[in-house]
């Protein structure tokens, strides 16, 4: 079996960190598909286009990011695809490489692997995320029939499952794919498994840093994040999007269901 990487990247100063990890990633994957927002800087895009075995696609709208990355990854000759939000993936490989390699093996054993956070990883996040994601995770778990942490930004798919998603979804849900994708696959009879990892601890504290933030910086930045009411409002909207996408996926007519 072989593996490709699909990742949606909204750049926030990570290019040097990414280039440093590319030798490792090229060992792990048979191809890397990166989606980028429409306002991506030309110099960054040119840098990506110069790299081998890496396909960069600029989305017409950033809400297409995950869908575009998954579709592009299907161009790789791989039996399975790991999808991971770019900033989460980068931190994970940097901080817990052994766990990362173990998960890559696990991805290739089922049609859909929902990769969630351990309790310790989950509680590195700001309260605004912890409390709102508890709601969306509860709804997705109820719809699937088993407990999951659907909002960690990482999932694995067999090629057949990824092809099913591309043919049965529209690129209109951004974070709503956290619910939409596993629920559709569950309804269509694909095998779904879960695991929980430490490497998906909070990644946003890493932005514009030369390396992944340490726990003390995570705590400091999380407190600042929670002090802004607009962040709470935004996270409520994200949770609502995930719940609505899950409910819609549960009710959607599927030819193969």
> Measured over all CA atoms, what is the biggest interatomic distance in the chain, rounded to whole angstroms?
50
Q: What is the pLDDT of residue 120?
A: 97
257 part of a folded domain: no
Residue 221 lies in a domain: yes
How many residues can be counted in the chain? 257
Name the domain count of the chain. Answer: 1
For the chain, state the CA radius of gyration: 17
Q: Does residue 256 form part of some domain?
A: no
Report the pLDDT value the prediction gives residue 241, as an integer from 0 to 100.
Answer: 96
| Residue 187 DSSP one-character state | H
- Can you give the CATH number for the domain in which 218 is found? 3.90.550.10
Q: How, if at all, do strands 80-84 and 3-8 pair?
A: parallel
Between CA 153 and CA 230 the distance in angstroms is 22
- pLDDT for the residue 257: 42
Q: Quote the pLDDT of residue 1.
A: 73
Tokens 């819609």 belong to 248
Please, which residues have CB within 8 angstroms of residue 39's CB and are 6 or more apart in sequence? none
Is residue 13 one of the residues assigned to a domain? yes
Judge whether 98 lies within some domain. Answer: yes
Please give the residue range of the domain that contains residue 45.
3-251
pLDDT by position in tens, the chain (length 257): 799 999 999 999 999 999 999 999 999 999 999 999 999 999 999 999 999 889 999 999 999 999 999 999 999 999 999 999 999 999 999 999 999 999 999 999 999 999 999 999 999 999 999 999 999 999 999 999 999 999 999 999 999 999 999 999 988 878 999 999 999 999 999 999 999 999 999 999 999 999 999 999 999 999 999 999 999 999 999 999 999 999 999 999 887 54
Tell me whether strands 112-117 and 154-158 are parallel, antiparallel or unpaired. Answer: antiparallel
- Cα 123 from Cα 254, distance rounded (Å): 37
Closest CA to 178 of 191, 165, 188, 167: 165
Residue 203: partners with Cβ closer than 8 Å, 6 or more residues away? 85, 87, 88, 90, 91
pLDDT at 79 (0 to 100): 97
The β-bridge partners of 33 are 6, 55
């Amino acid at each position: 079996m072989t593996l490709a990487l699909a990742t949606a990247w909204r750049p926030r100063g990570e290019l040097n960190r990414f280039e440093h990890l590319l030798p490792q990633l090229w060992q792990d994957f048979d191809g890397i598909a990166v989606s980028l927002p429409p306002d991506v800087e030309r110099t960054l895009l040119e840098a990506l286009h110069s790299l081998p075995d890496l396909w960069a696609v600029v989305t017409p709208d950033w809400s297409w990011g995950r869908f575009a990355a998954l579709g592009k990854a299907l161009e790789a000759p791989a039996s399975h695809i790991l999808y991971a939000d770019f900033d989460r993936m980068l931190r994970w490989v940097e901080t817990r490489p052994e766990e990362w390699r173990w998960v890559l093996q696990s991805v290739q054993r089922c049609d859909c692997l929902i990769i969630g956070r351990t309790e310790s990883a989950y509680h590195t996040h700001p309260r605004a995320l912890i409390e709102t994601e508890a709601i969306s995770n509860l709804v997705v778990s109820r719809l699937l029939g088993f407990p999951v942490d659907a909002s960690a930004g990482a999932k694995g798919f067999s090629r057949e499952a990824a092809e099913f998603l591309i043919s049965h979804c529209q690129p209109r849900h951004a974070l709503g794919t956290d619910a939409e994708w596993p629920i559709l696959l569950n309804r269509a009879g694909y095998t779904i498994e879960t695991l929980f990892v430490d490497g998906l601890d909070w990644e946003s504290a890493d932005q514009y840093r030369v390396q992944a933030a340490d726990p003390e910086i995570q705590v400091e930045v999380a407190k600042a994040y929670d002090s802004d009411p607009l962040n709470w409002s935004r996270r409520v909207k994200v949770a609502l999007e995930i719940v609505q996408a899950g409910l819609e996926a549960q009710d959607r007519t599927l030819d193969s269901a």
